């Protein structure tokens, strides 16, 4: 079990040697041994056997030695609970030390030892530390709250009392940590925040960066439960007071729904005002959290102040770009105007990573409108030629989306895509076919030329999805290409057995549709293909074949459906909607892990809808104590 | 928040692990290896991954993966920003952030990680505070330590964490008091085939190196602050003073730090310092192609362009190159298909040129697209936006510091499409 491989720089030492060193009288030997033990832990090797020898050094005077022992204790105490208890008295003593740093570090280690039997001791220590004169010790106690809670959730009620007390703390050092504890232990106890709301808003700028992120995200949730929506039409803001008065048409309706115009709660404004400077933070997480706060809380016309800062983050590390682009993609669906002036910042460079490229593409597509589409399409032309074929394929899909959204350019796009059909790269051709198919469905009346063109290319296309798409088009619009469609079917009859499953399914489809419209020419071919399908290895294909045969070929016992076959198979079908993959992402709060993954992550706190009527504002009033 | 951290090298060995809560088995990394396998290129691995019980957030830096294990909802940027801060700290302490260096300093690394997070929540991330608690290793100190048995852990306890200026350590003393500021501007641009600018902007950063005794309060002002469109500051900068007077007022951290980053307003036309004449073509037959690149000065404001370098990611089909450079050297990496032409100084009298033939894999189709050129360059003593520092004043201390400002312009993401 314990075949330990040591770091190459150290001579090989066995556990016995280390034990001996740890039990020697020399500080330097002990320290050397501890360093090696930590080296083992870092490599993920098991060093638990040394526990008794290590724990004896917990009271050492040497600070570095002591710290390394702490590292060891926190790592192994959970596995060796009985032995870990030996160290407790040392920490209890240190908790009373006159030096605040020693008190804090004792509490830190004590609370990190996950030994259930010491829960009462931890509880006592946390309570005492929460009342400590040093803000640093109080901060440590806020961290300890979460540790105790995860060790023993039954302590919740008592811990909430401590949180309530620490929330009142006026030190910027404590604020971030206690809000973090609040979020972990009792995120639903919004009532604890009321009295501290204004204080937190005012402290925010001076809190350390990580605390800022946590506080901003908590306050976003808070605000959505306490203030009314600033998004109602004709709302009045303290910054422009005109709008409603000109709106005479809807006056009557509004008079019934809300008697008085919207006026923003001063506390709501306070939050917006105090978070704005943080857009200039060097910490990208802080900038993002302010941006999401504005997105979820600010009046619509004020949201755009976050744009510049978000675009600035695109200069940062690749991973930062990835998250920021995801969020911009969601925002840009609803609010094109916000990012349109910065369109060029989303231009793709050949050195970008593929996931960055596709996100930029997504955003450019969202931003496309009548005015800028020609610029965007010109840019897309460069991308289509990219060496990164996955990206080129994504561009083709994007062109398809632009073509359906902006009717002025549909024909241009379609022609461009047809040109791509003669591209040398197979993925490009395949993707073009699929997109053209979707586009033709949206305007089926014209374009039989394009269908003919695709039929000609059919022999050279090998990507199954593309072949299947062409076959589907042939069948769907067979009446517009009456001479070509049967010929394609003839070719398919020859190659049927070696085709992929999706191609086989579409061949059966094509055969059925042709049989219904042109049975004279295709009757035999269809029967042949149905026979092949009947004995196919894949049960889906056998199943489909059986179904189609019953549906189209008249026989004595076949049912009532036969006469509707034509109406079933050749019914006009709704065109597919080409839309953004980010369309529904806004159900998650921006900037969250859930938003990034598009699934509800564990512990995700739903953002509530604005209340129709604002709860009592006076709960936030604080009596000023002189 | 952050449950565990694994450091993984680019071949996929986990060489360090650290847990801030209960131990999580390293088998959780298998999901990451799966994604890494699929992505082929390490830069293409998605930074956020989901596994049945955990979430993995990863950054890739200096050929290393920093993989963090998360159990509950957390803003992903929070974790990413923190991981980069960890990498920055290693860089700051050891001069570089590589597997060898981290393995050699594993104890210091562990001590740092222990201080930077408590129960997964960032505790001390300011380099000034950390350096008070854990001294960075130096050769001299490690010799002294082995001889005397003293340690790297500071015996003074950090006071910075307690003050309302946590970024500055207390009791700083220098015999030579000096403050240097580097204004570094980068041009990001995309030029098209014909040399027209598709997109160009200037991003700037002011890097500071301040070694001043005591608690100096500095004010830095500009001749033309209006140029600055969007700014972000080190936490030490007083935002209110900037809003009202457009000056940077701050008590600096001790040592090196980034004072501010800025973006120059997009209304100003961006000067492009060089032009590129290029002709890259691949022939339908004969499995070969031609390459001809010439670079000349455009808007250099009378300064010399140095450190000129051209990087081209060739199509996969290009087997080898046979080129002659009129100036500098070129290399072609057969494995990565990257052509690098190190030009050096740009001489306006005799323009550097690289030309010759490219030989292609037999039978491979002619590449669809010509590769784009990435340009690197440097111009000393020039901020291309025209930004100028007008003065630096110091309050709060009596001595006269030595002050200096340096300007430099570089190419950022400067790309020429062909």
- Write the pLDDT tens digit of every residue in A178-192: 999 999 999 989 899
What pLDDT is stored for residue A558 in this prediction? 60
Mean pLDDT of A421-428: 77
Residue A434 C-alpha, separation from nearest chain B C-alpha, in angstroms: 21
Contacts of A221 in chain B (CB under 8 A): none
Q: Of A63, A99, A180, which has the smallest distance from its Cβ to B121's Cβ? A: A180
A607 to chain B, any CB pair closer than 8 A? The answer is no
Question: Under an 8 A CB cutoff, do B110 and A27 touch?
Answer: no
Q: Cβ–Cβ of B233/A323 closer than 8 Å?
A: no
pLDDT for B35 equals 92
Count of C-beta atoms within a 10 Å radius of residue B262: 23
Nearest CA in chain A to B122: A210
Higher pLDDT, A82 or A331: A331
The answer to whether residue A6 scores a pLDDT higher than 60 is no
CB atoms within 10 A of CB A233: 10
How far is A52 from A541, CA to CA, in rounded Å? 68
Characterize the bridge pairing of strands B402-416 and B178-191.
parallel
pLDDT given for residue B260 in this prediction: 93
Would you say domain B2-148 falls under CATH 3.30.450.60?
A: yes
Model confidence at A446: pLDDT above 70: no
Residues A328 and A307: their CA atoms lie apart, in Å, by 9
Say if A306 is an interface residue toward chain B (CB within 8 Å). Answer: no
Distance between CA atoms of residues B247 and B249, nearest Å: 6
Residue A234 has pLDDT above 80, yes or no: no
Interchain pair B73, A601: CB under 8 A = yes
| A339 pLDDT above the threshold of 60 | yes
Could you tell me how far CA A438 lies from the centroid of its own chain? 28
- For B299: left if phi > 0, alpha if psi spans -120 to 50, otherwise beta; the answer is beta
Choose the closest CB to B235 out of A147, A209, A592.
A209
What pTM, to 2 d.p., does this model score? 0.86
pLDDT-based confidence at residue A624 (cuts at 50, 70, 90): low
The 10s digit of each residue's pLDDT in A242-258 is: 444 444 444 444 444 44
Nearest CA in chain A to B50: A597
CATH 3.60.21.10 for domain B274-380: no
Most B CBs within 10 A among A67, A387, A419, A602, hence the mutation to make, goes to A387
Q: Does A171 touch chain B (CB under 8 A)?
A: no
Query: B163 Cβ partners below 8 Å, 6+ apart?
Result: B170
Over the stretch B369-410, which tens digit does the pLDDT of each residue have? 788 899 999 999 989 888 999 999 999 888 999 999 999 999
Smallest CA-to-CA distance from B91 within B65, B61, B48 is with: B61
Question: What are the angstrom distances between the C-alpha of A472 and each of A543, B216, B306?
Answer: 19, 76, 60
For residue A568, give the 3-state DSSP assignment.
helix
Q: Which residues contact B402 (CB under 8 A, 6 or more apart)?
A: B176, B177, B178, B179
Q: Tell me the fold of B178-269+385-416.
A: Immunoglobulin-like (2.60.40)
Is B158 strand, coil or helix?
Answer: coil
Q: Does A57 touch chain B (CB under 8 A)?
A: no
- Classified as helix, coil or strand, A419 is helix
pLDDT band at A297 (very low <50, low <70, confident <90, very high): very high
Contacts of B118 in chain A (CB under 8 A): 108, 140, 143
**How many CB atoms are closer than 10 A to CB A247?**
11
Higher per-residue pLDDT: A624 or A517: A517
All residues of chain A having their beta carbon less than 8 Å from the beta carbon of residue B26 are 44
A502 and A464 in contact (C-beta within 8 Å)? yes
How close B349 comes to chain A (CA, Å)? 32
Q: What is the interface size between A and B, counted as CB pairs within 8 Å?
A: 230
pLDDT, tens digit, 9 for 90 and up, residues B111-137: 899 889 988 898 888 887 888 778 777
How far, in Å, CA of B94 to CA of A388, rounded?
37
* pLDDT level of residue A276 (50, 70, 90 thresholds): very high
Residue A528 near chain B (CB below 8 Å): no
Least confident of A8-12, A13-17, B36-40: A8-12
Asked if A178 reaches chain B (Cβ–Cβ under 8 Å), the answer is no
Put simply, the answer to whether B235 touches A386 (Cβ < 8 Å) is no
What is the pLDDT at residue A356? 93
SS3 A45: coil
Residue of A nearest to B114 (CA): A71
| pLDDT on residue A549 | 87
B25-29's contacts with Cβ under 8 Å and 24+ in sequence apart are B26/A44, B28/B4, B28/B54, B28/B56, B28/B69, B29/B56, B29/B67
Query: Which residues in chain A have their CB less than 8 angstroms from residue B267's CB?
Result: none
- Stretch A465-475: mean pLDDT: 86
Where exactly does CATH 2.60.40.1170 map onto chain B? 178-269+385-416, 274-380
| Average pLDDT of chain A to the nearest whole number | 85
Q: Do A320 and B80 touch (CB under 8 A)?
A: yes
Residue A526 vs residues A137, A512, A572, B251, B314: alpha-carbon distances, Å: 83, 7, 23, 85, 50
Q: Judge: A101–B72 Cβ closer than 8 Å, yes or no.
A: no
Q: What is the mean pLDDT of residues A65-76?
A: 88
Helix (H, G, I), strand (E, B) or coil at B123: coil
**What's the mean pLDDT when you consider all of chain B?**
87
Average of per-residue pLDDT across A484-511: 90
How far B356 CA sits from the closest chain A CA (Å)? 22
Do residues A72 and B160 touch, judged by C-beta distance below 8 A?
A: no
């Amino acid at each position: 079990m314990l075949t330990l491989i040591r770091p190459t720089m150290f001579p090989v030492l066995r556990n016995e040697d280390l034990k001996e060193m740890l039990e020697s009288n020399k500080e330097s030997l002990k320290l050397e041994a501890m360093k090696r033990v930590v080296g083992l832990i870092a490599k993920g090797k098991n060093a638990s056997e040394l526990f008794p020898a290590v724990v004896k050094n917990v009271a050492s005077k040497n600070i570095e030695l002591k710290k390394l022992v702490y590292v060891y204790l926190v790592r192994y105490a959970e596995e060796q609970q009985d032995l870990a208890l030996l160290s407790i008295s040392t920490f209890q003593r240190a908790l009373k030390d006159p030096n605040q740093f020693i008190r804090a570090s004792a509490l830190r280690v004590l609370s990190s030892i996950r030994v259930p039997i010491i829960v009462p001791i931890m509880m006592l220590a946390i309570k005492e530390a929460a009342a400590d004169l040093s803000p640093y010790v109080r901060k440590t106690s806020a961290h300890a709250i979460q540790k105790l809670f995860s060790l023993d959730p039954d302590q919740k009620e008592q811990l909430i009392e401590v949180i309530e007390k620490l929330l009142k703390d006026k030190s910027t050092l404590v604020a971030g940590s206690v809000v973090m504890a609040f979020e972990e232990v009792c995120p639903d106890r919004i009532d604890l925040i009321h009295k501290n709301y204004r204080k937190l808003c005012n402290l925010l700028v001076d809190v350390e960066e990580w605390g800022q992120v946590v506080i901003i995200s908590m306050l976003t949730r808070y605000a959505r439960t306490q203030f009314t929506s600033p998004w109602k039409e004709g709302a009045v803001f303290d910054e422009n007071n005109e709008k409603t008065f000109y709106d005479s048409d809807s006056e009557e309706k509004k008079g019934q729904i809300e008697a008085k115009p919207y006026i923003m709660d001063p506390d709501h404004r306070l939050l917006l005002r105090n978070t704005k400077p943080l857009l200039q933070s060097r910490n990208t997480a802080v900038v993002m959290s302010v941006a999401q706060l504005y997105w979820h809380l600010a009046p619509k016309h004020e949201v755009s102040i976050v744009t510049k800062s978000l675009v600035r983050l695109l200069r940062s590390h690749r991973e930062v770009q990835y998250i920021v682009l995801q969020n911009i993609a969601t925002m840009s669906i609803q609010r094109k105007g916000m990012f349109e002036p910065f369109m060029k910042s989303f231009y793709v460079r050949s050195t970008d990573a593929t996931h960055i490229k596709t996100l930029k593409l997504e955003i450019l597509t969202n931003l496309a409108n009548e005015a800028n589409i020609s610029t965007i399409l010109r840019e897309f032309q460069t991308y289509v030629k990219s060496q990164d074929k996955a990206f080129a394929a994504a561009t083709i899909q994007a062109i398809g989306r632009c073509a359906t959204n902006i009717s002025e350019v549909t024909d241009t796009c379609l022609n461009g895509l047809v040109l791509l059909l003669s591209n040398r790269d197979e993925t490009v051709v395949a993707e073009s076919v699929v997109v053209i198919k979707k586009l033709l469905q949206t305007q089926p009346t014209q374009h039989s030329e394009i269908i003919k063109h695709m039929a000609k290319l059919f022999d050279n296309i090998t990507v199954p999805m593309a072949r299947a798409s062409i076959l589907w088009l042939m069948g769907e619009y067979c009446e517009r290409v009456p001479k070509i469609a049967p010929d394609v079917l003839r070719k398919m009859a020859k190659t049927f057995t070696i085709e992929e499953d999706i191609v086989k399914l579409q061949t059966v489809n094509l055969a059925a549709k042709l049989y219904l419209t042109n049975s004279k020419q295709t009757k035999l071919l269809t029967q042949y293909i149905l026979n092949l399908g009947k004995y196919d290895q894949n049960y889906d294909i056998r199943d489909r074949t059986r179904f189609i045969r019953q549906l189209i070929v008249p026989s004595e016992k076949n049912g009532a459906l036969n006469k509707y076959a034509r109406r079933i198979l050749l019914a006009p079908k709704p065109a597919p909607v080409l839309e953004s993959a980010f369309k529904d992402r806004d159900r998650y709060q921006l900037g969250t892990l859930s938003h990034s993954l598009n699934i509800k992550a564990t512990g995700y706190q739903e953002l509530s809808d604005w209340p129709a009527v604002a709860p009592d504002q006076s709960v936030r009033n604080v009596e000023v104590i002189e | 928040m952050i449950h565990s951290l694994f450091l993984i090298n680019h071949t996929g060995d986990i060489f360090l692990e650290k847990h801030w809560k209960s131990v999580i088995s390293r088998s959780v990394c298998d999901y990451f290896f799966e994604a890494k396998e699929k992505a082929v290129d390490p830069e293409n691995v998605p930074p956020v991954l989901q596994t049945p019980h955990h979430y993995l957030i990863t950054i890739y830096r200096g050929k290393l993966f920093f993989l963090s294990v998360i159990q509950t909802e957390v803003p992903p940027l929070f974790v990413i920003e923190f991981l980069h801060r960890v990498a920055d700290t290693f860089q700051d302490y050891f001069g570089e952030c590589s597997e060898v260096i981290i393995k050699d300093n594993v104890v210091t690394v562990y001590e740092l990680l222990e201080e930077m997070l408590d129960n997964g929540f960032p505790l001390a991330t300011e380099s000034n505070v950390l350096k008070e608690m854990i001294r960075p290793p130096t050769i001299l100190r490690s010799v002294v330590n082995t001889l005397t048995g003293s340690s790297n852990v500071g015996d003074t306890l950090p006071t910075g964490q307690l003050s309302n200026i946590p970024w500055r350590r207390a009791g700083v003393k220098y015999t030579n008091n000096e403050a240097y500021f580097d204004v570094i501007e980068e041009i990001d641009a995309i030029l098209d085939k014909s040399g027209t600018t598709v997109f160009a902007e200037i991003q700037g950063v002011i890097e500071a190196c301040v070694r001043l005794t005591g608690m100096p309060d500095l004010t830095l002002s500009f001749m033309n602050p209006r140029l600055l469109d969007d700014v972000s500051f080190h936490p030490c900068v007083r935002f209110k003073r900037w809003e009202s007077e457009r000056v940077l007022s701050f008590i600096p951290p001790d040592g090196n730090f980034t004072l501010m980053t800025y973006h120059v307003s997009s209304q100003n036309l961006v000067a492009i310092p060089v032009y590129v004449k290029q002709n890259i073509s691949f022939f339908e037959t004969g499995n070969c192609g031609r390459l001809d690149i010439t670079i000349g000065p455009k808007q250099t404001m009378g300064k010399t362009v140095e450190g000129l370098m051209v990087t081209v990611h060739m199509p996969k089909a290009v087997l080898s190159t046979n080129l002659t450079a009129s100036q500098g050297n070129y290399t072609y990496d057969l494995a990565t298909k990257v052509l690098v032409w190190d030009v050096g100084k740009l001489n306006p009298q005799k323009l550097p040129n690289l030309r010759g033939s490219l030989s292609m894999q037999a039978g491979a189709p002619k590449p669809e697209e010509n590769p784009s050129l990435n340009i690197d360059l440097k111009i000393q003593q020039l901020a291309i936006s025209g930004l100028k520092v007008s003065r630096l004043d110091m309050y709060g201390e009596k001595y006269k510091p030595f002050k200096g400002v340096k300007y430099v312009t570089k190419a950022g993401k400067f790309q020429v499409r062909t």
